[in-house]
Chain A
Amino acid sequence: MSAKPQIGRLQALLARVTLNAQKPRSVGPTVTVISQTPLSPPVVARAAAPSEADLDVSIDDLLGGSPEPSPVPVEIDVTLESVPPSAGSLGSPAEVGLSLDAEVSEVRVAAVGSREPAVEVTVAAIAAEAEGIVLGTEELSDEDLVEIEDAEASASSKDDDVDIDFDDEVAEPPASSQRARVASSMDEALAAAAEQLESEREVPLHTPPPESGPQEATFQLPAGIAAPLAPQVDAMHGEELVIPTRAAGPTTEQLGQTVDLEEARGPTLELVEQPAVADEVVPAATEELEMPLPGRDVVGSYDDSLRPPPEALEDLAAHRRRLEEDSLPPPESLGQLPSARPGAMPELIVPAAADAAGPVLVARHAPAGVSAATFVSMRNAFQPSTFVDLLDASLSLRGE
């Protein structure tokens, strides 16, 4: 069989598989075969009639069916429609053979010892791919097709003998392979390519490890604070570099070269004591609106040319007469006795004169050597001399 008819058949197979996948699923018997390929014995579905009944073209026909047994088992992964595995629906191998079109995802053709086409289904592949495969779609990668084409091409070059090497797939379990989904149309392929491109451009959300190298700090300064500008080195080229200093004074290096100057030579200055200045009353500066007070020499003096007022003439005459009669004692108030005055004797008191100018005082001689106050007891204290006196006095009490 040439390569083109095989490709055509494969494409027809692919189309049918896709068509079957789009059909609604019936309640038919499902076969879920759980297999661990290297450890547990694989569940092998020997599809004799059913495979040919359901699949119009057998795998042996597709592979060319070499009459001689090949030393290496040929395994062809045909991903069929699968459903999620259910633990309680594990069927017998016969049932598995009756529903290969529905559940078998891997078909292995073992051409050891006979030319009978053998289809070996690895259920692990079914279980693994059931998670990631969308129902109703058939996944066949381009690589598989290419490999098949290459194998067919090589087989055709060797007298149409199928000799496909799937070592890579044997080494890598098909259950863990994540093959790209084949686009059914050009639009879908373009959308998938665009999505892949976008996924590649996305920045990983993971924080880069610290050993990824120094990174630029991306913090923002608060408002009002700006980072210092970098010096423009290019502008400084060709100009004299001026280092700004904090103060205009000499620097520390300049102070190291300071020369001490000698003291100034000149006449010695002597302080001359000021002569004692006489105490002079310096009149304080007065304000314009303030009238100055008279000086000390003015106090108590009056002009002799002044005449007393006429209503004071009589008082003045009486005053002068009293000045002439200065031998007379001054009048005493009634509250002050002459005896209380030191040195004054009652005999010195002059009887009232007939002069109408002063009051007439009449003093009484104080009694000498006589105690004016005498105290009289109202009741004599009872002082009993004997107990019997007290007893009799107490017995004589009558009360109110």
Chain B
Amino acid sequence: MATRFNPSGSVSFDLARGRVDCGGEQLLVAADALSDLCLAAGEEAIVDFGRRLGTSIGRRVAARLGDSANAASLEELLEQLGGELALSGLGSLGLERWGRALVLSFEGGPFGPNLDQLLGAVLEGALQRTFGRDCHAAKLGRDDRVVRFLISSQQSAVKVRQWIGAGVTLGDALTRIQNQVGVA
């Protein structure tokens, strides 16, 4: 039985001092203003900004899981990581397993398709901080409200981005990435 995410006490508003505390000082900003800022900053800045956000989220997830982080099941990690992402207002996290490929998805995020790269960077930072592994998120596709990312190595992520850019569908890309399995 997976441990349910308990958000109680996660966010504290100190109205006397005018602060928001969520494992550190936080700032509530408008999503469209942040989106404009990120688009104006550039791709590299977006990736750095997203990794910073994901690192803080991963730290909180690791704190919740404690020593059992490596033994956490899929449901447990989805519950805790998804809870922290939802608390930050980045959307609802989903997990899919396509054979040996791990696919994480966001649904209902505040940003449009122009900032999907920001969400991928958040996932990279969170997983790297929680499990201590170098992870890369390659965008597989996006429909109306759901955007999917393949969590893989850097080499695989580059290949998948090329395939998707060339018009390969999500299923074909995931099949092709699993045809030759190399044990890391």
Contacts and interface: CB of A to CB of B under 8 A. Distances in A.
A391 B151 contact: yes
A69 interface: no
Contact of B180 (A387, A390, A393, A399): A399
A388 B70 contact: yes
Interface in B123-164: 127, 131, 133, 135, 150-153, 155-156, 159-160
A74 B2 CA distance: 157
Nearest to A387: B77
A384 B70 CA distance: 12
Given A387-B78, A391-B131, 9 more contacts: A390-B97, A391-B151, A396-B153, A397-B152, A397-B153, A399-B160, A399-B176, A399-B178, A399-B180
B151 A399 contact: no
B74 interface: yes
Contacts of A390: 74, 97, 100, 102
Nearest to A382: B100
28 contacts: A384-B97, A385-B73, A386-B71, A386-B73, A386-B74, A387-B74, A390-B97, A390-B102, A391-B131, A391-B133, A393-B100, A393-B102, A394-B101, A394-B102, A394-B151, A395-B133, A395-B153, A396-B181, A396-B182, A397-B100, A397-B178, A397-B181, A398-B181, A399-B156, A399-B178, A399-B179, A400-B177, A400-B179
Contacts of A397: 100-101, 152-153, 156, 177-178, 181-182
B45 interface: no
Interface of A: 382, 384-388, 390-400
B150 A394 contact: yes
Contacts of B127: 391
A381 to B, nearest CB: 9
A393 B74 CA distance: 13
A395 B153 CA distance: 5
A391 B177 contact: no
Contact of B176 (A387, A391, A400): A400
A397 B150 CA distance: 11
Interface in B87-113: 97, 99-102
Contacts of B40: none
A315 to B, nearest CB: 71
A346 B72 CA distance: 62
Given A396-B100, A397-B181, A387 B73 contact: yes
A391 B160 CA distance: 17
B180 A386 contact: no
B131 A388 contact: yes
A398 B182 contact: yes
A390 B183 CA distance: 13
Contact of A395 (B77, B159, B180, B184): B184
Contacts of A384: 74, 97
Nearest to A398: B182
A391 B135 contact: yes
A400 B159 CA distance: 9
Given A387-B77, A388-B131, A395 B151 contact: yes
Contacts of B70: 386, 388
A396 B152 CA distance: 7
B79 to A, nearest CB: 11
Nearest to A388: B70
Contacts of A395: 133, 135, 151-153, 184
Nearest to A395: B153
Contacts of B184: 392, 395-396
Nearest to A396: B184
Contacts of B151: 391, 394-395
Nearest to B173: A399
B152 A394 contact: yes
Contact of A398 (B74, B76, B131, B180): B180
Contact of A382 (B73, B76, B99, B160): B99
A390 B176 CA distance: 18
Contacts of A398: 153, 155-156, 177, 180-182
B13 to A, nearest CB: 32
Interface string B6-36: 0000000000000000000000000000000
